[in-house]
Structure 1
Amino acid sequence: MRKSSGDSSSTTRRAKNETVVRAYSIPIRVDEVILEFIEEYHKLARSALQEILGARKFTRVERKQLRDKLLKDWNYASHYVDSAINQMLSLVKSYRRKLKKGKKARRPRLRKKFVYVKSTLFSLKGSTLRITIIPRKHYLEVNLANCPHILPFLKEVWAGRLKLGGLFLFPDRLILNFVKSVEFIDVKDWMSIDINLTNVTVLAGLTVYRFDTCELYHIHRVYELKRQKIQKISAWNKKLSEELLKKYSERERNRVKDFLHKLANKIVEIAKERRMGIILEDLNRIKERVVNSSKELNRKLSKWNARELQRIIEYKAKWFDIPVIYVNPKNSSRVCPACGGQLIPQEGRLMKCSCGLVEDRDFIAVLNLRMWGVRGSPEGVGGFEAFANDGPMKTNPYGVMAIEKQRIGIKFHEITLTPP
């Protein structure tokens, strides 16, 4: 559940319960029957997509007619037809919702070949997962005991603390979705996180952690240069160029993913140890809002994984019953956290206020985010009821810090993650 302090309603009480999903991919080997099944499902889903796109409202009657039509030459479990229709319907609804809001949206296309397996189409007995392909004739059986990283989750499923949700079947892998109903803890305080191009700054109580992310930027830059060289090959060997681009793009994704997960683990670990909730910036559509500002800025933003990092932090935190809220970050590094005045840029990353405060802009940002997350933003919008004790960073309703314009007892930790 996501809420922003831009809500003009009165203070919003956050839900105490929520459902969280963790997905894990495991390699599998399938026979020719299943490979053909995945191919047929892909064709079925594409047909459903075209029918739904062509309908104005897609009523219940039209849905039944489409289902009956798709079932005519379908030789597999009928529930897969329902899966395909639901999957494509969700895709089209999302597309039309964007158009209605005036956003740019590409017409939906189905490229990747995979099958969504509903919970009615598989069973879990012990560590053996059995997926129905053709009822009473053909099944896919996967021994999950061969996947050590899955076993702790299986034990939770057997104990009834987790559920195994719908699966995604690919020709070479199976994605398992473990579903957990979490009850958020009553936190002692809140930690705020400011994500920048070259660092992530975290304020936890009276401690500031600054994680160096220059290595992440470097990874993107290295592969950007590789792609530029590969694109020159396409003039005389397009096939080789495409293969190399695919190869290095996958390497880049894997290295970035590994870095982001390590960073998120560190941050969530701090929140767990200190029993703190997490405050994040609402960066929805941030790239859309600033795109076309300048060629240099657009290039930098293309290497910025802020939203992906936030997504990982959020699901990891919620998995451990830690609440996460979002606040509007507008002017978070330009407004004085002591008096609310306008800050003036100084040399380097320093910002100065007429009240005498001179501080690092990242430190100012996390101070403001923390205050706005707990008490609401200075513009008088709703904000949140954060269920936290005021803790060491006490604030009054107007956002004036109890530390009186000074870093009394504030400790800085510079942290560099080991490159993947």
Structure 2
Amino acid sequence: MRVTRTVVLKSERLPKKVFKIFVELEGMYREMLLQTVLFAVQNETTSFVKLKAEKYRFLRELYPQLPSHYAYTVCQDSALRAKSFLKRKKKGLAEKVFPEVRNVSIWLDDHLWRAGLTVIKIATHKGWIEVGLEAHRHYWKTVNSGWKLASQARIKPDKKERRLVVYLTFHKEVEPYEAKSWVSIDVNEDNVTALIDFTPVIFETGLKKQTLGYYYRRKRVQERWDNRLGPRNRKKNKILRKLREGDKKRDVRLKLARIIVEEARKRDAGIILEDLPKNVQNKMLERIHDKQLRHRIYQSAFLGVQKAIEEKAREYGVPVIRVNPKNTSRVCPVHNTVVKYEDGRFGVCSAGGEVWHRDVLAVWNLYLRALQGDGSNAPSPEGFFVDGRLVPLASTATSDAIWISQSRWLRWNSLPPTQSDTLSHKMKR
């Protein structure tokens, strides 16, 4: 199985004359893209081969000074955009008759660029231009861990910093293994709970506090600058961009996903996730009217955490299955009876009196549903045998859960420096 990863790099600050060439290149590429996307949507052409046959000569005559392979990459880009738009239009999700081409990055095939470790050469209408790259830890780690550089790349001029943003794609072959055990995952607003070696581990994410902090901070900024300069002003937008809420939450998701997948890989285990619908937040908000709580739920990104875990699992070859999450936090796995919640996230089994934490209860039920769906029998009230030992369910209700604070598991997943172990790559010719 082939997996891919995109690494984003920035170039060194470019001289004005050199940067102007890339700005001109972007303008020509955008114009070709506009013409080709419009044609593809009008004629419902989603095949790159057909689109190239129809528009190649037109694109070459439009900008004859460009290398010919830009006509190929424009057709590839246009075919994907047209296919996506027509699919949305068929479902009734497209608001306009034709798609808007807003974000443009220049596609490069293997005839339009050459790469070294910290340098890239790009073919332009002014000839080949070599640009230095500012490498970072994530890039070095990708280079040093068996990933191979793909033949296609993308670039985009950053007019504010006078740099190029370079998107490099890496790929590698991964052999998935057959799971010998399972790690069930329950994603919540403020934590992610995992059942590892039959011990519930609760990773505190702190996203509830973080979401509310950014909510009130944005509100203060908006009230201050809207009163002075009106609702649309650059000063307010500049301050809001510096908050970087999305980047910090993304960092939490990616690091947590890596910890969970690595622990599963060590045990030759698969991962069990809840089978959540795409609009899970909307369904949760139907009966909630509190404005602050609605904002917290909307920003909780349950699917974002699951997606991060799935992508990392695919990279490591870890199997992933999904099970129905209905009532996993309401039914006692020991007695199959209702758990009554009276105070916070702790509930009491109506039959046996066991005290269950809501998230611990969920991961056990997810695990047991996966076993039953695999054809195995349900466990008895005393527990079930694994490798000759009895795993009692009732004992794990509250006492055996391990709580890990955000600061602790974030340090656990810190990246080691790898520049000294860099593999040497020769410049393509």
Q: TM-score range by the shorter chain?
A: 0.7 to 0.9
Alpha carbons 1:281, 1:369 under 8 Å: kept: yes
Query: After the TM superposition, which residues 202-217 of structure 1 pair with which residues of structure 2 at under 5 Å, given as runs?
Result: 202-214=194-206, 216-217=207-208
Residue 369 in structure 1 maps to residue 386 in structure 2: no
What's the CA shift for 1:192? 1.1
Determine if the alignment matches structure 1 residue 244 to structure 2 residue 225: no
CA distance in 2, matches of 1:69, 1:235: 51
In structure 1, the partner of 2:183 is 191
Counting only pairs closer than 5 Å after superposition, residues 62-101 of structure 1 correspond to structure 2 as 64-74=53-63, 75-101=65-91
State which drifts further: 119-128 or 204-213. 119-128
TM superposition shift of 1:362:
0.9
Instruction: Look up the match of 1:294.
Output: 288
Which of the numbers 92, 106, 117 marks the counterpart of 1:115? 106
Query: Which residue pairs with 1:166 in the alignment?
Result: 152
Alignment length (residue pairs): 380
Instruction: Map 1:11-410 onto structure 2 (within 5 A).
Output: 18-28=1-11, 29-30=13-14, 31=18, 32-56=20-44, 64-74=53-63, 75-101=65-91, 104-107=93-96, 108-124=99-115, 128-134=119-125, 138-143=127-132, 146-147=135-136, 149-155=138-144, 162-164=148-150, 166-171=152-157, 172=163, 173-214=165-206, 216-232=207-223, 233-238=225-230, 241-250=233-242, 251-283=244-276, 284-296=278-290, 297-356=293-352, 357-376=354-373, 396=377, 402=384, 403=391, 405-407=393-395
Over 3 Å counting, the alpha-carbon distance change for 1:110 and 1:332 in structure 2 is farther
C-alpha distance 100-366 of structure 1, shift in aligned 2 (>3 A): farther
Task: Tell me the CA shift for residue 202 of structure 1.
Answer: 0.9
Partners in 1 of 2:211 and 2:66 — Cα distance? 44
The unaligned stretches of length 5 or more in structure 1 are 1-17, 377-383, 386-394
Find the counterpart in structure 2 of residue 11 from structure 1: none
Amino acid in structure 2 at the alignment position of 1:369: L
Q: CA deviation at 1:148?
A: 5.4
1:268 and 1:84, CA in 2 relative to 1: closer, same or farther beyond 3 A?
same
3-state SS of paired residue (2:401): strand
Q: Distance in 2 between matches of 1:80 and 1:340?
A: 63
- CA distance 1:252–1:124, shift in 2 (3 Å): same
Q: Which amino acid aligns with 1:96?
A: L
**What is the CA distance between 1:124 and its match in structure 2?**
3.7
User: 3-state SS of the aligned residue for 1:208?
Assistant: strand
CA distance in 1, matches of 2:372, 2:109: 43
Structure 1 residues 344 and 126: alpha-carbon distance in aligned structure 2, compared to 1, 3 A threshold: closer
What TM-score do you get using the length of structure 2 for normalisation? 0.76
Q: Does structure 1 retain, via aligned residues, the 8 Å contact 2:41–2:86?
A: no
Which residue type is aligned with residue 335 of structure 1? V
Shift of 1:190: 1.2
Alpha carbons 1:127, 1:154 under 8 Å: kept: no
Structure 1 position 106, deviation (Å): 4.7
Q: What amino acid is aligned across from residue 407 of structure 2 in structure 1?
A: T
Tell me, in whole angstroms, the C-alpha distance in 1 between the residues paired with 2:371 and 2:154. 39
Q: TM-score, normalised by structure 1?
A: 0.77
Query: Share of identical aligned residues, percent?
Result: 26
| Aligned partners of 1:121 and 1:131 also within 8 Å | yes
**CA offsets, 1:345-376, max 9 Å, x none?**
33322344444254222112111222333442
Equivalent position amino acid for 2:309 in 1: I
| Partner SS, residue 211 of structure 1 | strand
Distance 1:44-1:372 versus aligned 2 partners, 3 A rule: farther
Find the aligned partners of 2:396 and 2:253 in 1 and give their Cα distance.
32
State the alpha-carbon separation in 2 of the partners of residues 221 and 130 from structure 1.
45
For residues 121 and 303 of structure 1, the distance between their equivalents in structure 2, rounded to whole angstroms, comes to 41
CA distance in 1, matches of 2:361, 2:287: 25
Q: Residues 260 and 58 from structure 1, CA distance in 2 versus in 1: closer, same or farther, beyond 3 angstroms?
A: closer
1:8-39 deviations in Å (ceiling 9; x for gaps):
xxxxxxxxxx2222222111145221121123
Aligned partners of 2:40 and 2:78 also within 8 Å: yes
Given the superposition, is the C-alpha separation of residues 234 and 66 from structure 1 closer, same or farther in structure 2, using an over 3 Å criterion?
farther
Asked if the contact 1:223–1:249 (Cα under 8 Å) also holds between the matched residues in 2, the reply is: no
SS at match of 1:184: coil
CA distance in 2, matches of 1:363, 1:93: 43
Q: Is the 8 A contact 2:10 2:134 kept in 1?
A: no
Question: 2:413 is matched with which residue?
Answer: none
Q: What is the alpha-carbon root mean square deviation over aligned residues? A: 3.3
1:209–1:414: 8 Å Cα contact kept in structure 2? Answer: yes
The whole-number CA distance in structure 1 between the counterparts of 2:248 and 2:117 is 34
Alignment-mate amino acid for residue 359 of structure 2: D
| Alpha-carbon spacing, 1:288–1:181, altered in 2? closer, same or farther (3 Å) | farther
TM-fit CA distance, 1:198: 1.3
Comparing 32-41 with 279-288, which one deviates more in the overlay? 279-288
